[in-house]
Amino acid sequence: MFDPTTEYYGGLALIAILAWMSWQSEKMITMIILLMLGGYFIYTHNTGNTITDFSNETVDKINKAL
């Protein structure tokens, strides 16, 4: 039904709308968290690196060291 591009831009639009609503309600911490989430969303989409990949690599390195 939805292709990945639609989901990506839809997710970005949703995050932007929620950040704007937080800014209008003077909830700055929530707005900053949402903007950071949007930045992470863009970063993972463009690079393909995710937090899960990073944590799996770290756990593997620790297991090898032990």
Which residue would you say has higher pLDDT here, 34 or 47?
Answer: 34
Cα separation, 24 vs 16, whole angstroms: 12
Contact predicate 9/2, CB 8 Å: no
pTM of the model: 0.69
Q: Which pair of tokens denotes residue 62? A: 């620790």
What is the rounded distance in angstroms from the CA atom of residue 4 to the CA atom of residue 57? 26
Residue 15 or 54, more confident = 15
For position 1, what pLDDT does the model report? 62
Exposed / middle / buried, residue 34 (Cβ in 10 Å: 0-12, 13-18, 19+): buried
Mean model confidence pLDDT for the chain: 88
Q: How many CB atoms lie within 10 A of CB 48?
A: 8
Please give the tally of structural domains in the chain.
1
Question: By residue range, what is the domain housing residue 51?
Answer: 4-65
